[in-house]
Amino acid sequence: MRRLLTGLLAGLALFAAPVLALDVVATSPSMGALVRAVAPSAQLTVLAGPDRDLHMLQAKPTMIRALRSADLLVAVGAELEMGWLPAASASAANPDILPGREGYFEAAAQVPLLDVGGPADRAMGDVHPAGNPHVDLDPVRMAQVAGALGARMARLDPGNAASYRANARRFAETVEQRLPQWQAQLAGAPGAVLYHRDAVYLLERFDVPLLGTIEPVPGVPPSGRDLRELAGKLRGRDGVIIHAPYHSPKGPRKLGGDLGWPVETLPLSPPVSADGDGYLRHIDRWVSAIAGA
Ligand SMILES: [Zn+2]
């Protein structure tokens, strides 16, 4: 009787066991926002805040611990995280989230890339040799990425497949609805100078001219001569200069002073706690900064 009861209880426990949420690690807050949009009940760890340069992070023990138990790693990709993520993943000893496995997902691998096959290469210090990885500032590409992420989560957790797919569709529909307003705000915007080629997808999406970059090559700091040449080229025009919080403000301020242009400091990612709506508010912020030039 006792054995029967134990067996019965074990059976009940199995039956009543809660569906475990997917354990997801996202490298950036943009990727985290997308995870929350597609899988609001996922257990999520975001590895870096919006004030950090994903080209330049260090693998830390807290990251390795998060990666060890993850079902899914969501990266921006195209070698953006190559300086630290492969080392962190290797230390985590979790083969399920290594590249090529179902548990490894790259946003950049889901969409067409810009800056592919350019003249610069790694030997010149270019940190974008595989094409420009910063796809996360283009809401349309992010909507496509959400669809692919929903499909991947559906395979990893078939019990919630319909919900992942429906959430991804809803995010894509919201982006679609917001596009005309962003287009209207940016129509006729004079253009922007970026510190790094990190917002080129956003500028291209809305036909805003990229007037130059503070860095002569992605990842290479400017010389005084680079800045003087840029100022000479842009004198007499209107525009805005935008740099991330981790870029030195010296070059942007010098150029802004020379040209009489506004200088904006904007993170590439929304706050760590952002969901899909938080991501869209982040795009609003960028659009306002570019439109206000
Ligand atoms: Zn970059």
Q: What is the pLDDT of residues 244-293, one digit of tens each?
A: 999 999 999 999 999 999 999 999 999 999 999 999 999 999 999 999 86
Range of the domain at 35: 19-176
42 shares its domain with 159: yes
Per-residue pLDDT reduced to its tens digit, 206-243? 999 999 999 998 889 999 999 999 999 999 999 999 99
Which position has the token pair 């700091």?
Answer: 221
Average pLDDT, the chain: 93
> What's the rounded mean pLDDT across residues 198-202?
98
Q: Which residues pair with 23 in a beta bridge?
A: 43
Predicted confidence at residue 121, as pLDDT, reads 62
Q: Which residues pair with 25 in a beta bridge?
A: 45, 73
243 shares its domain with 102: no
Cα 199 to averaged position of ligand 1 atoms, centre (Å): 9
Cα 78 to averaged position of ligand 1 atoms, centre (Å): 10
**Given pLDDT bands bounded at 50, 70 and 90, which one contains residue 3?**
low
Burial grade of 236 (CB within 10 A; 0-12, 13-18, 19 or more): exposed
Percent of the chain topping pLDDT 90: 87
Cα 173 to averaged position of ligand 1 atoms, centre (Å): 28
Cα 253 to averaged position of ligand 1 atoms, centre (Å): 21
Predicted confidence at residue 17, as pLDDT, reads 46
Cα 55 to averaged position of ligand 1 atoms, centre (Å): 7
Percent of the chain topping pLDDT 70: 91
Task: Pick the range with the lowest mean pLDDT from 20-24, 141-145, 264-268, 282-286.
Answer: 20-24
Q: Is residue 43 part of a domain?
A: yes
> What's the rounded mean pLDDT across residues 155-174?
97
Residue 112 CB: number of other CB atoms within 10 A?
10
Q: Is residue 54 part of a domain?
A: yes
Q: Is residue 3 part of a domain?
A: no
Q: Is residue 71 part of a domain?
A: yes
**Given pLDDT bands bounded at 50, 70 and 90, which one contains residue 45?**
very high
**Given pLDDT bands bounded at 50, 70 and 90, which one contains residue 20?**
confident
Predicted confidence at residue 293, as pLDDT, reads 66
Q: Which of 154, 176, 198 is the last residue of a domain?
A: 176
Q: Is residue 1 part of a domain?
A: no
Predicted confidence at residue 16, as pLDDT, reads 45
Domain count, the chain: 2
**Given pLDDT bands bounded at 50, 70 and 90, which one contains residue 10?**
low
Cα 18 to averaged position of ligand 1 atoms, centre (Å): 41
102 shares its domain with 206: no
171 shares its domain with 184: no
166 shares its domain with 261: no
C-alpha span between 104 and 82 (Å, rounded): 14
168 shares its domain with 200: no
Q: For the domain that residue 135 is a member of, what is the CATH number?
A: 3.40.50.1980
Task: Pick the range with the lowest mean pLDDT from 98-102, 104-108, 125-129.
Answer: 125-129
Cα 58 to averaged position of ligand 1 atoms, centre (Å): 16
Cα 279 to averaged position of ligand 1 atoms, centre (Å): 19
Cα 265 to averaged position of ligand 1 atoms, centre (Å): 16
Predicted confidence at residue 9, as pLDDT, reads 52
Cα 218 to averaged position of ligand 1 atoms, centre (Å): 6
Task: Pick the range with the lowest mean pLDDT from 122-126, 127-131, 177-181, 273-277.
Answer: 122-126
